Chain A
Amino acid sequence: MGSWRLNDKKSAIEVEKAGLSRDMALIREARDRAAFARLFGHFAPRIKGFLIKSGTEPSVAEDCAQDVMVTVWKKAHLFDPARASVATWVFTIARNRRIDLARREKRPEPEDLGWGPEPDQTQDETLVMQQDSERLGTALAALPDAQRLLIEQCYFGELSHRDIADVTGLPLGTIKSRIRLALDKLRHAMGSTP
């Protein structure tokens, strides 16, 4: 890989995320193991953390994070960069693995929503998807802690709003309005120009 100068406007995170979709393409097109190792370095600790926060034993989480990465390798040809960022796609694989792990059940998938490559995809769509993903991450990080933590709890594990209320001791109405407020802020951030 040749050296290249960083564009001053790009943050380190943006460069890293751009690297993720390039690495994903290298896996898809060339079964590139070095690219896989880089994706592993980025995602495996996140998947492991996600599974542990969802209530999985750390040793099981280590093993399952590896499983998820093996699935990423095996299903790389199904990844469609015009449809989702790499992080979104990896999340859906990790989520399905968690459902299988916790309940031994399959998740019903909607019709015609396979991650099939679409021949008419353009560079532009891929770029927009990637930028959206970055803005969403930034917007999530910018939320007040209480709101961000509630959003995260919606994703970690089997917690319904009622369960979250039990854990946090907050009344159910407060939980719902905080989640709604957080989602509204994220929507606002995504609707505004970057």
Chain B
Amino acid sequence: MTIKHHLTESLLMGYAAGSLPEAFNLVVASHVSLCDDCRAAVESYEALGGAVLDDAQVAMAEDGLADCLARLETAAAEVETAPPAPRSANQAHSLPAPLRDYVGGDMDAIRWRPVGGGVKQAILRTSESASARLLFIPAGSAVPDHGHRGVELTMVLQGAFADATDRFARGDVEIADEDLEHTPIADIGADCICLAATDAPLRFRSLIPRLLQPFLKI
């Protein structure tokens, strides 16, 4: 598998710095699970974070160390001795591990809801500053023409889609902003499953729709 469309420098740095909304973190973590180049970049930005720590020093309270040593006593019982069980290696047709955590299983555990034209979606629960969903586009079908109000990241998990800009296959991420109006069409060979995250503001601002939101989702 060759990934052609990678994440931008500012997304990789934002992920390492911890400044992205959860939904974007999920896309980065999923892409990095499949892409060694971007993983190496994230590790470099984390190393930069370690170097940045050197410039931020504020004296601890006088009894800070004593307090902390006392907490080690109570922590002693909880010391983790074994590394966590390794999450299963990535298979060509399975969800990356960070996504499995959100779905509660692999592809077959996704709870799809039809949104018309054979297209289905499943909203993932993340913090409100951005939203994430899985999209199912039947082979050969198009997602209706749509624009974007914020930044939208779309990562292909299965199959492939093409729009006016290029073709995107498993692992590829398309980064779209307000300027892109596109009609993604799934390859004829297989149904296409994508992870899409956007920081567009939620539509409902008044009280009643906000109360309905948990049922309607976005």
A residues touching B (Cβ–Cβ < 8 Å)?
31, 33, 36-37, 40-41, 43-50, 52-53, 58, 61-62, 65-66, 69-70, 73-75, 77-78, 83-85, 87-92, 94-96, 98-99, 103, 105, 107-117, 132-133, 136-137, 140-141, 148, 151-152, 154-161, 176, 179-180, 183, 186
Contact = CB atoms under 8 A, between A and B. Distances in A.
B152 to A, nearest CB: 16
B56 interface: yes
B70 to A, nearest CB: 10
Interface of B: 9-10, 13-14, 17-19, 22, 25-26, 28-30, 32-33, 39, 42-43, 46-61, 64-65, 67-69, 71-72, 75, 78-81, 83-84, 86-87, 89-90, 96-98, 101-102, 126-127
Nearest to B61: A62
Contacts of B67: 66
A110 B33 contact: yes
Query: Quick one: which of B83, B101, B127 has the most chain A CB within 10 A?
Result: B83
A131 B48 CA distance: 13
Contacts of B81: 77
5 contacts: A61-B58, A77-B83, A109-B98, A136-B48, A137-B51
A46 B64 contact: no
Given A90-B50, A154-B19, A111 B90 contact: yes
Nearest to A67: B71
Given A105-B126, A110-B30, A110-B33, 11 more contacts: A46-B57, A49-B53, A66-B67, A74-B75, A85-B47, A92-B46, A94-B53, A108-B26, A111-B98, A152-B55, A156-B52
Nearest to B82: A77
Contacts of A61: 58
Given A84-B43, A112-B33, A37 B18 contact: no
Given A70-B75, A75-B80, A111-B97, A44 B68 contact: yes
Contacts of A75: 80
The interface residues of chain B, by DSSP majority, are classed as helix
Nearest to B49: A91
B127 A103 contact: yes
Contacts, number: 200
A90 B161 CA distance: 40
B209 to A, nearest CB: 24
Contacts of B25: 107-108
Contacts of A36: 69, 72
B85 to A, nearest CB: 9
Contacts of B22: 103, 105, 107-108
A49 B58 contact: yes
B57 A49 contact: yes
A170 B39 CA distance: 31
